[in-house]
Amino acid sequence: MSIVVGTDFSPNAREAVDVAAAIARKLNDTLKLVHVPVELELEQGEAVFVRPGQAQAHLAGEAARLRQTGIAVDATLLRGRPDEAIVEYADRERSRLIVAGALGSRSETRWRTGSVADRMAQTSSCPLLIVRTAAPFIAWARG
């Protein structure tokens, strides 16, 4: 089995990643670390990917950090809308859990339109854990 966690490399996402890693360690599962590069939708329906090369480097660095804790980590760069891509990936992998940060790196004005975590909660066929603060979950996983 596996646990999927998406990251946008924000502090909130790091909390979610740390929780997912702690749960994966406790359950002896593989952690599937994913990132979906930010897309800017244009009127013609085209998309512009922002910094994909940097995203791959950040993802590899985060995976290396997590592997040092002794868990198996698969890092994957996905394409598309983050909520849809992550849920579809979790379905394909037959994951037991998706972990997401409560808020990503969006500005406050964009939070009002619904977060990635909100949209995943509406469409995911597997359980979704939304993390605001890592400490309680990490304490649970340790004891």
Per-residue pLDDT of 95-129, as tens digits, reads 999 999 987 555 444 444 567 888 898 999 999 99
pLDDT given at position 45: 52
- Answering whether pTM is above 0.75, one says yes
CATH 3.40.50.10490 fits 2-142, yes or no: no
Maximal C-alpha separation, the chain? 52
**Cα–Cα distance between 135 and 83 in angstroms, integer?**
25
- List, for the chain, all residue ranges whose pLDDT scores fall below the cut of 70: 39-52, 104-114
Query: Which pLDDT belongs to residue 77?
Result: 94
Q: For residue 70, which phi and psi values (nearest 5 degrees)?
A: 95, 10
